[in-house]
Chains A and B, each alone.
Chain A
Amino acid sequence: MSAAAARPLVTVQSLESDMATDANSVPLPDVMKAAIRPDIVTFVHGQISKNARQPYAVSKRAGHQTSAESWGTGRAVSRIPRVAGGGTHRAGQGAFGNMCRGGRMFAPTKIWRRWHRQVNVTQKRHAVVSAIAASAVPSLVLARGHKIEEVPELPLVVSDAAEAVEKTSAALKVLKQIGAHPDAEKAKDSQAIRAGKGKARNRRYVSRKGPLVVYGNEGAKLVKAFRNIPGVEIAHVSRLNLLKLAPGGHIGRFIIWTKSAFQQLDAIYGTFDKLSEKKNGYVLPRAKMVNADLARIINSDEVQSVVAPIKKEVKRAPLKKNPLKNLGVMLKLNPYAKAAKRMALLAEAQRVKAKQDKLDKKRKPITKEEASAINSASKSWYKTMISDSDYTEFENFTKWLGASQ
């Protein structure tokens, strides 16, 4: 990334009191191009916001300031320790347990609960850097809910004349000139009584957050002028607070920079090549993907030239047909099947025909010639049978046979 030469310019908005020649442009500091990591911001924000907590706990003696003893068994009452003595309602009541009225609670809260959280310095810085980068993207600032439709440019840089503003009325005029008024107005309109018990616990009102004004020179009058405007917060560049840059853990606060503040960002956070001057040994975090524009990458020449063409027609699996039922499919698998089938059919036809003929023949009445032929044949066979056999040698049987031989 040819960063130095091609750094885009941000125009400085001039206010009324400026001279025309002052309106110029400032190059964009590299912080605004750092990786935007909402996950880191959410994590760090969650941890950091625990650090301003004050401990709470119940009294350690609560519920134990009695000399109660259990009555034991045999008295038709539960075995809970009961208050000793007599002459008052309290006598004989259950004590000590979390289930008892006037007893101590379950797990009494202790002050040595771990209230604060430690976060690595680099992580904290990464989160701040991400939040600053996100504040430069109009979509993200819009998504967080700020009204920036009338803002001339993001990130919004105002000339240093704003730092000299003394009166709040003048401050409001400045906001109007740079198009930040709708956001401040939104904050003012949103002031409402909190829903829930918080209102009775000294957190009565809630409102939206407006713009964050960041100034560069210590002791600028701007602090006193802007601080009373509802929704508007002020910060010095070298003391940027993540809780203000990403309220609620959501990145994209609307930030108004003064020119000197903007120019100090490079020195405070460094550039991708240069170390930071103010933070010892710190370099801006690198993104995993420098060019995250997927659409552009996919459609680029380098990728498209190597990519296979789109398959427009989707090849679907054909329906499986059963070869045992479908002759065509069977033939694809076994061409001989046709011949085999033909042979089988012919053989079958022959068999059928033969059987039919046989039956017909049997069922047909026999002609006279055939009948007599059969008759004479059977007679001659009988004779030959007798003559061939040795049966006739036996004298006893000649009468039976009745044959003259």
Chain B
Amino acid sequence: MATVPGQLIWEIVKKNNSFLVKEFGNGTASVKFSKEPNNLYNIHSFKHSGLANKKTVTIQPGKDQTVVLATTKTKKQNKPSTLLNKSVMKKEFHRMAKAVSNQVCDNYYRPDLKKAALARLSVVHRSLKVAKSGSKKRNRQSS
């Protein structure tokens, strides 16, 4: 597949796409969020974008207190069903954190996303603990 490079895709996608959410702020100064599943900070920017990058990392809650860590395979960009290397994790937090940082930076996959990945992991993990009480927040990133 002649890979349309990330920069090109970003130029096309950055102005408007179905995952873009503009909220808060005053008038034109709204914060831009992004709902794609492969976005770690949910921020609409080139670095975090799940659409414009060949290598992305995603951390989502799975069923029953598990966390799913997935990375995209660079060679299979045009085969959406087999794009992701998924791994379901149900370990204690420290082991999961080690696993995440191994996958993301220690193998030079996307070392610039290390902080984001770990931050997301702890938030997802915490959200799984509080499952019972309060209203269920819909996972808008559900992939």
- Interface residues in chain A, defined as those with a beta carbon under 8 Å from any beta carbon in chain B: 8, 28, 32-33, 36, 38, 134, 136-140, 142-145, 148-155, 179, 250-251, 291-296
Contacts and interface: CB of A to CB of B under 8 A. Distances in A.
A295 B18 contact: no
Given A33-B2, A38-B12, A139-B13, 6 more contacts: A8-B2, A139-B4, A153-B78, A291-B5, A293-B5, A293-B7
Contacts of B17: 143-145
A17 B78 CA distance: 25
Nearest to A144: B18
17 contacts: A32-B2, A36-B12, A137-B4, A139-B52, A140-B12, A143-B17, A144-B18, A149-B143, A152-B79, A153-B80, A154-B80, A251-B12, A292-B7, A293-B6, A293-B7, A295-B6, A295-B7
Interface in B61-119: 77-83
Contacts of A251: 12
Contacts of A8: 1-2
B3 interface: yes
B131 interface: no
B81 A292 contact: no
A342 to B, nearest CB: 61
Interface in B1-46: 1-9, 12-13, 16-19, 36
A134 to B, nearest CB: 8
A143 B13 contact: yes
A160 B78 CA distance: 22
B78 A296 contact: no
B100 to A, nearest CB: 22
Contacts of A153: 78-80
B78 A154 contact: yes
B51 interface: yes
Per DSSP, are chain B's interface residues mostly helix, strand or loop, or mixed? loop
A38 B17 CA distance: 12
Contacts of A151: 80-81
A292 B78 contact: no
Contact of A152 (B51, B77, B81): B81
B2 A139 contact: no
Contacts of B80: 138, 142, 148-154
Contacts of A250: 16
Interface residues of B, number: 26
B36 A142 contact: yes
Contacts of B19: 143
A137 to B, nearest CB: 5
Nearest to A250: B16
A36 B78 contact: no
B80 to A, nearest CB: 5
Contact of B78 (A138, A143, A179, A293): A138
B81 A150 contact: yes
Contact of A136 (B1, B8, B79, B82): B1
Contacts of A295: 5-7
Interface string B131-143: 0000000000001
A146 B51 CA distance: 13
A179 B52 CA distance: 23
A250 B51 CA distance: 16
A139 B82 contact: no
Contacts of A294: 5, 7
A294 B13 CA distance: 17
Nearest to B13: A143
Nearest to B15: A38
Given A145-B18, A149-B143, A295-B7, A140 B13 contact: yes
A310 B36 CA distance: 35
A32 to B, nearest CB: 8
A137 B79 CA distance: 10
A403 B143 CA distance: 137
A137 B6 CA distance: 11
Contacts of B4: 36, 137, 139-140, 292
A139 B7 contact: no
Contacts of B9: 137, 139-140
B13 A154 contact: no
Interface in B119-137: none
Contacts of A291: 5
Contacts of A137: 4, 9, 78
Given A152-B82, A153-B78, A296 B5 contact: yes
Nearest to B83: A138
Contacts of B12: 36, 38, 134, 140, 143, 251
- Residue of B2, B79, B81 contacting most chain A CB atoms (<10 Å): B2
- Residue of A151, A152, A292, A295 contacting most chain B CB atoms (<10 Å): A292
A269 to B, nearest CB: 15
Contacts of B5: 291-296
Nearest to B17: A143
